[in-house]
């Protein structure tokens, strides 16, 4: 839990609070019974928070004995740096699988948002779309104005990840030693000229060896060699 918290801006590793809206991905548990108060039959995975189409976070201590919130929790508007409160979302849809659950979806976060390396904690989140084949959930979502998809890839085509480079800065290099492969360098213009000259010399020598007696062939090869050297010297001197 604390690793997830850290990745989503928990503890002291958080960046500045960001106003505005932010797209994030997450998962939910599906409730067996539909709530009667207009809430969706969805709860958070780690805490049993029932979700309405739009949810507002409150900072509240967990049950005793559970990996709890820091001292001072509950006395501030959620979220805040140094706490773990707020509604969690991941920037990358694949990261949402860290908390596997039956329903996957996309939220639009607003209000105060604390940004971590891989996810955020937000004051408010509105469910934009979910992936489900459960008819009860699909009906409840459609009533609430939440888009329903049968396939994750269709949802991601309509709600692709946002480019957060401007907000997060360049992403750090992966820690496992894998680095992006640099494309092979193309030949420089001079290298190309050298290659062409060497090929031309080879052609002259082969032609001389095939068509001339030994001594004139050697002289032709030497002349070709000298010609290439003179040509390269002239190019290099430019
Ligand atoms: Zn808090």
Give the range among 85-89, 194-198, 200-204, 211-215 with minimum mean pLDDT. Answer: 194-198
Distance 59 CA to ligand 1 centre (A): 4
pLDDT by residue (tens digit) across 38-92?
789 999 998 889 999 999 999 876 544 445 556 656 678 899 888 889 999 999 9
Distance 11 CA to ligand 1 centre (A): 10
Distance 188 CA to ligand 1 centre (A): 58
Residues 150-154, mean pLDDT to the nearest whole number:
97
Name the pTM for this structure.
Answer: 0.63
113 vs 188: CA distance, rounded Å: 49
pLDDT (0 to 100) of residue 179: 44
């Amino acid at each position: 839990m604390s690793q997830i918290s850290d990745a989503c801006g928990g503890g002291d590793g958080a960046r500045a609070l960001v106003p505005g809206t932010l797209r994030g991905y997450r998962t939910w548990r599906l409730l067996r019974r539909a709530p009667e108060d207009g809430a969706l039959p969805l709860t958070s995975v780690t805490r049993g928070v029932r979700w309405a189409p739009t949810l507002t976070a409150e900072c509240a201590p967990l049950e005793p004995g559970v990996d709890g919130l820091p001292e001072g929790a509950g006395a501030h508007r959620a979220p805040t740096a140094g706490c773990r409160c707020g509604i969690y979302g991941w920037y990358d849809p694949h990261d949402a699988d860290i908390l596997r659950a039956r329903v996957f979806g996309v939220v639009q976060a607003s209000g105060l948002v604390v940004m971590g390396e891989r996810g955020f904690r937000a004051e408010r989140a509105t469910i934009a779309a979910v992936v489900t084949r459960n008819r009860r959930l699909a009906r409840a979502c459609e009533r609430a104005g939440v888009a329903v998809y049968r396939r994750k890839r269709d949802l991601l085509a309509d709600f692709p990840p946002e480019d957060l480079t401007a907000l997060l800065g360049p992403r750090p290099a992966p820690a496992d030693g894998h680095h992006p492969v640099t494309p092979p360098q193309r030949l420089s213009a001079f290298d190309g000229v050298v290659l062409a000259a060497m090929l031309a010399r080879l052609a002259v020598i082969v032609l001389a060896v095939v068509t001339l007696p030994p001594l004139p062939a050697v002289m032709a090869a030497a002349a070709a060699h000298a010609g290439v050297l003179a040509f390269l010297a002239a190019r290099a001197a430019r």
